[in-house]
């Protein structure tokens, strides 16, 4: 009999996370197939898709002509084409933009609604999965395909796994669980992504940042050697002329507030508050603690104090 223990909607940081099954209900799975899929995606995305191994997955971005990020995505080989995972809020718009110039290419791009995205994280996550799958991905082979099931391996902020399962396999997997495991929603995966430094781009922050502004160059999610792709000229100019003045980081604060995504981040300098960045994501952890992912306009130090505009009594500090 399956045993799920409700976490009472508490989200935990990675160093305090018990074995947890996470329903990624705020993420979508998109599939691109066809004889021109590789060539077409090569001309659209920031990475060199020709170098993507079938045993690996990669973070990358889809940008507009001005070099601003439509979305970030987790891309990998899937079935006879490519699959990628992105935030649901931007998925419909992004698919429409990606398909815009595909009329003369043999490619189909569409969301797979029958696919379930499940995160497995926390204490003994690998041992747990060994009861269900013959092979578990690792550093040497971060993607494993088993029949119609796919497992992605992540090392940050601690070892965790993302399962890509058709509905029938998901129901069988859930029914077969005979160990105690916490059940949580997308906020737990978001918290882990914030800790890992993976940018979270929802609809409200789409088309606002270049890839370098959200650290995609540091995350090896940009190729500066392949041919042209949308936004490439702007992205390359920023790189070769060292023009980027922004960077992604996360801050920690105490309290329970609910600001809008894309709110301004302010910093206190000599008793005055100045705008210094933008809010990308927020997750409440451990009941009273908050993690926020932000894009800042200039470097800051560990002793600086921050707040979100409109919430003057709640303060945040930069992590080490």
Domain of 256: which CATH number? 2.40.30.160
The reply to whether 134 and 223 lie within a common domain is no
Same domain, residue pair 240 and 114: no
The pair phi, psi for residue 74, each rounded to 5°, is -105, 110
Rounded to an integer, the average pLDDT of 178-189 is 92
Residues 51 and 90 in one domain: yes
Last residue of a domain, one of 196, 230, 254: 196
Res. 66: pLDDT tops 50: yes
Q: Give per-residue pLDDT as tens, 150-180.
A: 999 999 999 999 999 999 999 999 888 888 8
Is residue 298 in a domain?
yes
Pick from 84, 202, 199, 201: nearest CA to 152: 84
Same domain for 116 and 213, yes or no, is: no
For position 149, which CATH number holds?
3.30.1360.120
- Which of 146, 175, 196 corresponds to the end of one domain? 196
pLDDT of residue 6: 54
Give per-residue pLDDT as tens, 131-152. Answer: 999 999 999 999 999 989 999 9
Check whether residue 279 and residue 163 sit in a common domain. Answer: no
Q: What's the length of the chain?
A: 320
8 band by pLDDT with thresholds 50, 70 and 90:
low
Same domain, 168 and 259: no
In this prediction, residue 58 has a pLDDT band, given cuts at 50, 70 and 90, of: very high
Q: Choose the final residue of a domain: 175, 196, 217.
A: 196
Q: Are residues 280 and 176 in the same domain?
A: no
Has residue 204 been placed in a domain?
Answer: no
Count CB neighbours of 134 within 10 A.
Answer: 7
Q: 201 in a domain, yes or no?
A: no
202: in domain: no
Helices in the chain by DSSP H: which ranges? 37-42, 88-99, 125-129, 167-176, 186-196, 232-240
Identify the pLDDT of residue 269.
87
Residue 171: φ, ψ to 5°: -65, -40
Please tell me the total count of domains within the chain.
2
Which among 148, 123, 146, 152 has a CA at the least distance from the CA of 21?
A: 123
Task: Sort 158 into a burial class: Cβ within 10 Å, 0-12 / 13-18 / 19+.
Answer: middle
Same domain, 229 and 117: no
Separation CA 199–CA 114 (nearest Å): 26
Tell me: do 171 and 240 sit in the same domain: no
What is the pLDDT, as a whole number, of residue 180?
Answer: 87
84 part of a folded domain: yes
SS3 (DSSP) at 244: coil
State which residues form the domain around 314.
209-318
For the chain, what percent of residues have pLDDT higher than 70? 97
Q: Where does the pLDDT of residue 7 fall: very low under 50, low under 70, confident under 90, or very high at 90 and above?
A: low
27 assigned to a ligand binding site:
yes
Where does residue 127 rank: exposed (0-12), middle (13-18), buried (19+ CB within 10 A)? exposed
In the three-class reduction of DSSP (H, G, I as helix; E, B as strand; rest coil), residue 119 is classed as: strand
Same structural domain for residues 84 and 130? yes
Which residue spans within the chain are E strands per DSSP? 3-5, 20-23, 27-33, 57-63, 69-78, 81-87, 108-111, 115-121, 143-146, 149-154, 160-166, 180-184, 247-254, 264-269, 272-285, 289-296, 305-308, 311-318
| CA–CA distances in Å: residue 78 to residues 31, 55, 144, 209 | 8, 10, 10, 29
């Amino acid at each position: 009999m399956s045993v799920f223990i409700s976490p009472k909607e508490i989200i935990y940081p990675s160093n305090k996370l018990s074995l947890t099954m996470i329903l990624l209900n705020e993420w979508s799975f998109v599939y691109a197939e066809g004889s021109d899929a590789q060539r077409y995606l090569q001309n659209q995305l920031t990475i060199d898709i020709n170098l993507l191994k079938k045993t690996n997955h990669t973070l990358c971005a889809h940008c507009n002509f001005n070099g601003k990020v439509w979305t970030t995505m987790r891309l990998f080989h899937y079935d006879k084409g490519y699959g990628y995972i992105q935030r649901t809020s931007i998925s419909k718009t992004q698919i429409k933009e990606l398909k815009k110039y595909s009329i003369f290419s043999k490619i189909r791009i569409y969301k797979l609604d029958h696919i379930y995205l499940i995160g497995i994280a926390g204490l003994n996550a690998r041992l747990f999965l060994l009861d269900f799958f013959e092979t578990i991905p690792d550093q040497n082979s971060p993607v494993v395909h088993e029949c119609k099931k796919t497992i992605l391996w992540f090392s940050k902020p601690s070892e965790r796994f993302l399962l890509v399962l058709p509905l029938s396999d998901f129901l069988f997997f859930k029914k077969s669980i005979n160990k105690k495991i916490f059940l949580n929603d997308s906020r737990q995966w978001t918290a882990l992504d914030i800790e890992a430094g993976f940018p979270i781009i929802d609809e409200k922050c789409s088309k606002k940042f270049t890839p370098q502004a959200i650290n995609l160059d540091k995350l090896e999610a940009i190729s500066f050697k392949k041919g042209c792709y949308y936004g490439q000229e702007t992205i390359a100019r920023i790189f070769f002329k060292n023009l980027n003045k922004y960077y992604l980081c996360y801050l920690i604060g105490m309290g329970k507030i609910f600001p809008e995504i894309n709110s301004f981040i302010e910093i206190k300098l000599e008793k005055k508050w100045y705008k210094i960045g933008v809010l990308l994501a927020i997750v409440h952890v451990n009941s009273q603690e908050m993690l926020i992912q932000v894009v800042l306009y200039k470097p800051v130090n560990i002793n600086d104090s921050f707040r979100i505009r409109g919430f003057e009594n709640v303060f945040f500090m930069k992590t080490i």
